[in-house]
Amino acid sequence: MRTAFDDVVDEIRARGFHNHRLEDHSGAVSRGILRDLRAMCDPFEHDFTEGRIREWFDYPSPAGRARKLDLVVAEPAGETGEPDLTRLRLCIENKSVVTAHRNRTNRYDDLSDLVGVLHRNRPDAILVATVLIGLAEKVLNVPDRVKPFVSPEEFAGRVLPRLSSGDDSLWSDFPRAVSRNRPGDPERTARKFRDLPTRPPGRTDLVAYDYVLLVPVVIDNVHPPRVARENGIGIDVDAEYRAMLDRICKAYTARWRL
Protein backbone atom coordinates (compact mmCIF):
# COMPACT_ATOMS: atom_id res chain seq x y z
CA MET A 1 0.00 0.00 0.00
CA ARG A 2 1.04 3.61 -0.38
CA THR A 3 1.69 5.44 2.87
CA ALA A 4 2.52 8.97 4.00
CA PHE A 5 6.15 7.85 4.15
CA ASP A 6 6.18 7.11 0.44
CA ASP A 7 5.23 10.78 0.06
CA VAL A 8 8.26 11.65 2.19
CA VAL A 9 10.75 9.79 0.00
CA ASP A 10 9.17 11.31 -3.11
CA GLU A 11 9.71 14.78 -1.64
CA ILE A 12 13.29 14.01 -0.67
CA ARG A 13 14.00 12.67 -4.13
CA ALA A 14 12.56 15.83 -5.69
CA ARG A 15 14.38 18.15 -3.24
CA GLY A 16 17.62 16.20 -3.48
CA PHE A 17 18.38 15.63 0.19
CA HIS A 18 16.92 15.18 3.65
CA ASN A 19 17.44 18.13 5.98
CA HIS A 20 17.60 16.50 9.40
CA ARG A 21 18.07 19.88 11.07
CA LEU A 22 14.69 21.12 9.92
CA GLU A 23 12.91 17.74 10.16
CA ASP A 24 11.56 18.77 6.77
CA HIS A 25 9.93 15.39 6.24
CA SER A 26 7.34 16.23 8.87
CA GLY A 27 4.91 18.16 6.69
CA ALA A 28 4.59 15.31 4.19
CA VAL A 29 4.02 12.81 7.00
CA SER A 30 1.33 14.93 8.65
CA ARG A 31 -0.49 15.70 5.41
CA GLY A 32 -0.35 12.09 4.28
CA ILE A 33 -1.66 10.64 7.53
CA LEU A 34 -4.45 13.21 7.65
CA ARG A 35 -5.41 12.39 4.06
CA ASP A 36 -5.46 8.66 4.68
CA LEU A 37 -7.29 8.96 7.99
CA ARG A 38 -10.03 11.09 6.45
CA ALA A 39 -10.37 8.56 3.62
CA MET A 40 -10.79 5.51 5.87
CA CYS A 41 -12.47 6.85 9.04
CA ASP A 42 -16.05 8.00 8.45
CA PRO A 43 -16.65 9.59 11.89
CA PHE A 44 -13.44 11.61 11.60
CA GLU A 45 -14.26 12.74 8.06
CA HIS A 46 -17.83 13.61 9.06
CA ASP A 47 -16.65 15.96 11.80
CA PHE A 48 -14.27 17.63 9.35
CA THR A 49 -17.01 18.06 6.76
CA GLU A 50 -19.38 19.51 9.37
CA GLY A 51 -16.72 21.97 10.53
CA ARG A 52 -16.57 20.64 14.09
CA ILE A 53 -12.81 20.14 13.82
CA ARG A 54 -9.96 21.59 11.80
CA GLU A 55 -6.29 20.86 11.19
CA TRP A 56 -3.27 23.04 11.95
CA PHE A 57 0.33 22.34 10.96
CA ASP A 58 3.40 23.50 12.88
CA TYR A 59 1.35 25.02 15.67
CA PRO A 60 3.21 26.47 18.69
CA SER A 61 3.56 23.82 21.38
CA PRO A 62 2.44 24.33 24.97
CA ALA A 63 5.79 22.75 25.87
CA GLY A 64 7.42 26.10 24.97
CA ARG A 65 11.06 26.57 23.94
CA ALA A 66 9.90 27.62 20.46
CA ARG A 67 8.73 24.08 19.74
CA LYS A 68 5.87 23.36 17.38
CA LEU A 69 3.31 20.57 17.12
CA ASP A 70 3.53 18.95 13.71
CA LEU A 71 -0.18 18.24 13.31
CA VAL A 72 -3.03 19.40 15.53
CA VAL A 73 -6.66 18.44 14.98
CA ALA A 74 -8.94 20.27 17.39
CA GLU A 75 -12.13 22.24 17.77
CA PRO A 76 -11.70 25.89 16.76
CA ALA A 77 -11.70 28.41 19.60
CA GLY A 78 -14.62 30.78 19.06
CA GLU A 79 -14.15 33.54 16.51
CA THR A 80 -10.35 33.49 16.52
CA GLY A 81 -10.03 30.45 14.27
CA GLU A 82 -7.20 29.17 16.45
CA PRO A 83 -7.26 25.64 17.89
CA ASP A 84 -8.57 25.20 21.42
CA LEU A 85 -5.97 22.85 22.90
CA THR A 86 -8.32 22.06 25.77
CA ARG A 87 -10.47 20.53 23.01
CA LEU A 88 -7.60 18.80 21.25
CA ARG A 89 -8.64 15.59 19.51
CA LEU A 90 -5.51 14.46 17.67
CA CYS A 91 -1.85 15.42 17.76
CA ILE A 92 0.87 13.82 15.63
CA GLU A 93 4.55 14.47 16.24
CA ASN A 94 7.15 13.34 13.69
CA LYS A 95 10.84 12.69 14.31
CA SER A 96 13.73 11.20 12.37
CA VAL A 97 16.98 9.49 13.32
CA VAL A 98 18.81 9.21 10.02
CA THR A 99 22.14 11.02 9.95
CA ALA A 100 23.50 10.19 13.41
CA HIS A 101 21.90 7.52 15.57
CA ARG A 102 23.69 8.92 18.59
CA ASN A 103 20.99 11.61 18.56
CA ARG A 104 18.29 9.06 19.34
CA THR A 105 18.20 10.08 23.00
CA ASN A 106 17.49 13.73 22.18
CA ARG A 107 14.61 12.77 19.89
CA TYR A 108 13.30 10.33 22.47
CA ASP A 109 13.41 12.98 25.19
CA ASP A 110 11.48 15.41 22.99
CA LEU A 111 8.68 12.89 22.56
CA SER A 112 8.76 11.80 26.20
CA ASP A 113 8.46 15.38 27.45
CA LEU A 114 5.68 16.30 25.05
CA VAL A 115 3.27 13.53 25.98
CA GLY A 116 2.99 14.77 29.56
CA VAL A 117 2.30 18.34 28.50
CA LEU A 118 -0.42 17.34 26.06
CA HIS A 119 -2.03 14.94 28.51
CA ARG A 120 -2.42 17.75 31.05
CA ASN A 121 -4.23 19.84 28.42
CA ARG A 122 -6.58 17.10 27.25
CA PRO A 123 -6.19 13.54 28.64
CA ASP A 124 -8.41 11.94 26.00
CA ALA A 125 -6.68 13.54 23.00
CA ILE A 126 -5.26 10.94 20.60
CA LEU A 127 -1.48 11.24 20.67
CA VAL A 128 0.68 9.66 17.96
CA ALA A 129 4.45 9.71 17.40
CA THR A 130 6.19 8.67 14.18
CA VAL A 131 9.92 8.09 13.84
CA LEU A 132 11.93 7.58 10.66
CA ILE A 133 14.77 5.15 11.41
CA GLY A 134 17.61 5.32 8.92
CA LEU A 135 19.23 2.04 7.89
CA ALA A 136 22.12 3.50 5.88
CA GLU A 137 25.56 2.91 7.42
CA LYS A 138 26.85 6.16 5.99
CA VAL A 139 25.03 9.39 5.16
CA LEU A 140 26.16 12.50 3.31
CA ASN A 141 25.44 15.32 5.74
CA VAL A 142 24.37 17.92 3.21
CA PRO A 143 22.86 20.61 5.51
CA ASP A 144 25.86 20.80 7.87
CA ARG A 145 28.90 19.67 5.88
CA VAL A 146 28.22 20.32 2.19
CA LYS A 147 25.91 23.25 1.61
CA PRO A 148 27.70 25.71 3.96
CA PHE A 149 31.07 25.08 2.26
CA VAL A 150 30.21 25.78 -1.35
CA SER A 151 28.76 28.86 -2.99
CA PRO A 152 25.00 28.95 -3.61
CA GLU A 153 25.70 28.88 -7.33
CA GLU A 154 27.97 25.85 -7.10
CA PHE A 155 25.55 24.02 -4.84
CA ALA A 156 22.61 24.64 -7.17
CA GLY A 157 24.51 23.92 -10.36
CA ARG A 158 27.07 21.22 -9.54
CA VAL A 159 25.98 19.51 -6.33
CA LEU A 160 22.20 19.49 -6.04
CA PRO A 161 21.53 17.73 -9.36
CA ARG A 162 23.77 14.84 -8.24
CA LEU A 163 22.18 14.32 -4.82
CA SER A 164 19.94 11.26 -4.32
CA SER A 165 20.74 10.22 -7.90
CA GLY A 166 23.16 7.36 -7.24
CA ASP A 167 26.33 9.37 -7.96
CA ASP A 168 28.86 7.59 -5.73
CA SER A 169 31.56 10.14 -6.48
CA LEU A 170 29.86 12.40 -3.94
CA TRP A 171 31.43 10.30 -1.17
CA SER A 172 34.95 11.07 -2.37
CA ASP A 173 34.18 14.67 -3.33
CA PHE A 174 32.94 15.47 0.20
CA PRO A 175 34.74 13.04 2.54
CA ARG A 176 34.33 15.30 5.58
CA ALA A 177 30.57 15.30 5.09
CA VAL A 178 30.25 11.55 5.56
CA SER A 179 28.47 10.63 8.79
CA ARG A 180 28.83 6.97 9.76
CA ASN A 181 26.45 4.77 11.72
CA ARG A 182 27.32 1.44 13.27
CA PRO A 183 25.68 -1.75 11.93
CA GLY A 184 23.58 -2.26 15.07
CA ASP A 185 22.40 1.34 15.38
CA PRO A 186 18.98 0.97 13.73
CA GLU A 187 18.00 -1.87 16.07
CA ARG A 188 19.21 0.07 19.11
CA THR A 189 17.23 3.10 17.96
CA ALA A 190 14.10 1.01 17.44
CA ARG A 191 14.45 -0.48 20.93
CA LYS A 192 14.83 2.99 22.41
CA PHE A 193 11.62 4.32 20.87
CA ARG A 194 9.72 1.17 21.75
CA ASP A 195 10.26 2.25 25.35
CA LEU A 196 7.94 5.23 24.85
CA PRO A 197 4.78 4.57 26.88
CA THR A 198 1.70 3.53 24.92
CA ARG A 199 -1.85 2.91 26.11
CA PRO A 200 -4.87 0.86 25.03
CA PRO A 201 -7.80 2.84 23.59
CA GLY A 202 -9.84 2.81 26.80
CA ARG A 203 -7.12 4.04 29.18
CA THR A 204 -7.07 7.80 28.68
CA ASP A 205 -5.94 8.17 32.30
CA LEU A 206 -2.50 6.90 31.30
CA VAL A 207 0.11 9.48 30.29
CA ALA A 208 1.12 7.72 27.09
CA TYR A 209 0.90 7.72 23.32
CA ASP A 210 -1.95 5.97 21.57
CA TYR A 211 0.45 4.78 18.91
CA VAL A 212 4.17 4.98 18.18
CA LEU A 213 4.97 4.19 14.55
CA LEU A 214 8.56 3.31 13.62
CA VAL A 215 9.37 3.45 9.92
CA PRO A 216 12.69 2.12 8.55
CA VAL A 217 14.03 4.06 5.59
CA VAL A 218 17.16 4.12 3.48
CA ILE A 219 18.19 7.77 3.13
CA ASP A 220 21.84 8.65 2.53
CA ASN A 221 21.44 11.70 0.22
CA VAL A 222 23.54 9.95 -2.43
CA HIS A 223 21.26 7.15 -3.62
CA PRO A 224 17.51 7.43 -4.24
CA PRO A 225 15.67 7.28 -0.90
CA ARG A 226 13.18 4.53 -0.18
CA VAL A 227 10.94 3.13 2.51
CA ALA A 228 12.67 -0.06 3.68
CA ARG A 229 9.82 -2.53 3.49
CA GLU A 230 12.41 -5.28 3.66
CA ASN A 231 14.47 -4.62 6.77
CA GLY A 232 16.30 -6.39 9.54
CA ILE A 233 14.54 -4.76 12.50
CA GLY A 234 11.27 -6.65 12.31
CA ILE A 235 8.93 -3.87 11.11
CA ASP A 236 6.17 -4.51 8.59
CA VAL A 237 5.69 -0.94 7.41
CA ASP A 238 2.37 -1.42 5.63
CA ALA A 239 0.80 -3.49 8.41
CA GLU A 240 1.95 -1.03 11.06
CA TYR A 241 0.63 1.92 9.06
CA ARG A 242 -2.78 0.28 8.69
CA ALA A 243 -2.79 -0.58 12.40
CA MET A 244 -2.02 3.04 13.31
CA LEU A 245 -4.87 4.38 11.18
CA ASP A 246 -7.23 1.77 12.62
CA ARG A 247 -6.20 2.59 16.20
CA ILE A 248 -6.74 6.32 15.64
CA CYS A 249 -10.16 5.72 14.05
CA LYS A 250 -11.35 3.40 16.81
CA ALA A 251 -10.13 5.73 19.53
CA TYR A 252 -11.74 8.72 17.83
CA THR A 253 -15.06 6.93 17.45
CA ALA A 254 -15.05 5.73 21.06
CA ARG A 255 -14.12 9.11 22.54
CA TRP A 256 -16.21 11.51 20.46
CA ARG A 257 -18.86 9.67 18.47
CA LEU A 258 -20.41 7.08 20.83
Q: Where are the domains of the chain?
A: 4-256
In the predicted structure, residue 202 carries a pLDDT above the cut 90: no
User: What pLDDT is attached to residue 62?
Assistant: 84
Q: Which of 14-28, 48-62, 225-239 has the lowest mean pLDDT?
A: 14-28
Sheet strand arrangement including 54-60: 54-60, 68-76, 83-97, 126-134, 211-218, 226-227
Non-local CB neighbours of 70 within 8 Å, separated by 6+ positions: 26, 27, 29, 30, 57, 58, 92, 93, 94
Q: Which of 98-102, 178-182, 227-231, 247-251 has the lowest mean pLDDT?
A: 98-102
User: What pLDDT is attached to residue 65?
Assistant: 63
pLDDT digits (tens, 9 = 90+) for 80-110: 778 988 999 999 999 999 887 888 999 999 9
